[in-house]
Structure 1
């Protein structure tokens, strides 16, 4: 039975993982460093302060991690304003229908500016009872901190929550929080086998995930 749903954002609600990679790559290149797939994998799931420290050290550009974070986040906000951060097909219906059945939250590695901007831009902010950025907890994914904080804000035990994720560290974080993990594997950044193994349900499209979420939430209603 499930009482709530906690969604990731990048790669689950919006197509944006490639933009983070694009901005990290450009930042490093401007400072003479070559960013590659390994560095992207290392940063996926990190909070903004964590990846900013990693990127600053990697690029050796002399900026502070805070300045690095601001430069990259400014780039993401600009991309949103340009219409480059689209909702994934089926994401709007998935969120709206889940919210009609139970309280929903967001647990994202994105910084607060990007979370709020994306949800408001796409007109889905009103569906969420709580949103948490991993910058607002002690550790980013794969630590469970952001998922536990989201469940606490909803007032629902983590074990009674469904969590929807796409990436390796996100899947690991949701599983570590004790949530029932639902996976929408990102085809561009496929999750590791061990992370995917933690999922109770896996599907390639949002409609299938939407149907699964609703079935689990309706089971809870009957209980």
Structure 2
């Protein structure tokens, strides 16, 4: 039915939103500000410039933001001191990617993170080999919900966007994929997209583990490619 799968990364493949939120709440406390979960959720899924503006407003201005951002950068190292990943793989992600690889389905990542960050993060978690293409936020002029990232990812896969399923956790990400002409499977993370988005989704799942039973209908295995890695 579909030729390829394109994935968001943060909050979808990796559990990054929770550690990042915790770091910002901790950073706010160094400024004697109690940043609540609901306040922080305002920035989830937004472009960096938008999230910076909101956080600066919540924290007391640009200087306070710069202080907090420096604290967050120090806290968010790729690896913990004990060697375990700071951002673990989300439930079902590795299983689903392995199943897609086994079927010969082409996969890409379309993330607001930079292309370098995408490859470094997925490489550290042993997931990089599942993907044939990457589209990072540093490679397009406009962030999600603009469709540019998904259009670039589909182009690099050599697949028409209409023949792809996007997997997204956020409202802006789902909007971007829909605007690019992809079908969208929503897998909510910290912030559940509104009904206006989930109502337009191809499917809504609790985790990528729940996507595995749908594989025979979504990504039929072409004759002779079972078990082969796409070129």
Bin the TM-score by the shorter chain. Answer: 0.7 to 0.9
Q: Residue deviations 1:120-170, cap 9 Å, x none? A: 111110111112222432222222221112111112121111001122222
1:89 counterpart (74, 91, 107)? 91
Partner Cα separation in structure 2 for residue 82 and residue 172 of structure 1: 33
- Which structure has more helix as a fraction of its residues? 1
Q: Structure 1, unaligned stretches of length 5 or more?
A: none
| Alignment of 1:200 onto 2:202 | yes
Question: Please, what TM-score do these two structures have when normalized by structure 2?
Answer: 0.80
Q: Structure 2, unaligned stretches of length 5 or more?
A: 224-231
- Cα contact 1:107–1:146 (8 A) shared by 2: yes
Partner Cα separation in structure 2 for residue 47 and residue 58 of structure 1: 17
Superposed displacement of residue 58, structure 1: 4.2
Superposed displacement of residue 109, structure 1: 2.5
2:193 counterpart (191, 194, 197)? 191
Partner Cα separation in structure 2 for residue 69 and residue 132 of structure 1: 25
1:181 counterpart (184, 201, 205)? 184
Which residue is equivalent to 2:146? 143
1:118 counterpart (117, 121, 125)? 121
- Cα contact 2:12–2:187 (8 A) shared by 1: yes
Superposed displacement of residue 68, structure 1: 7.0
Matched length: 219
Question: Please, what TM-score do these two structures have when normalized by structure 1?
Answer: 0.82
Distance 1:70 1:116, change over 3 A: farther
Q: How does 1:48-59 map to 2 (within 5 A)?
A: 48-56=48-56, 58-59=58-59
Q: Residue deviations 1:75-102, cap 9 Å, x none? A: 3334565533211222112112213322
Partner Cα separation in structure 2 for residue 203 and residue 11 of structure 1: 14
Superposed displacement of residue 46, structure 1: 2.6
Distance 1:109 1:71, change over 3 A: farther
Which residue is equivalent to 1:17? 17
Q: Residue deviations 1:183-217, cap 9 Å, x none? A: 2222x422211121121112223232123244322
Partner Cα separation in structure 2 for residue 206 and residue 47 of structure 1: 24
Superposed displacement of residue 42, structure 1: 3.1
Distance 1:82 1:62, change over 3 A: farther
- Cα contact 1:98–1:214 (8 A) shared by 2: no
- Cα contact 2:163–2:182 (8 A) shared by 1: yes
- Cα contact 1:28–1:55 (8 A) shared by 2: no
- Cα contact 1:15–1:85 (8 A) shared by 2: yes
Q: Which one has a bigger Cα radius of gyration?
A: 2
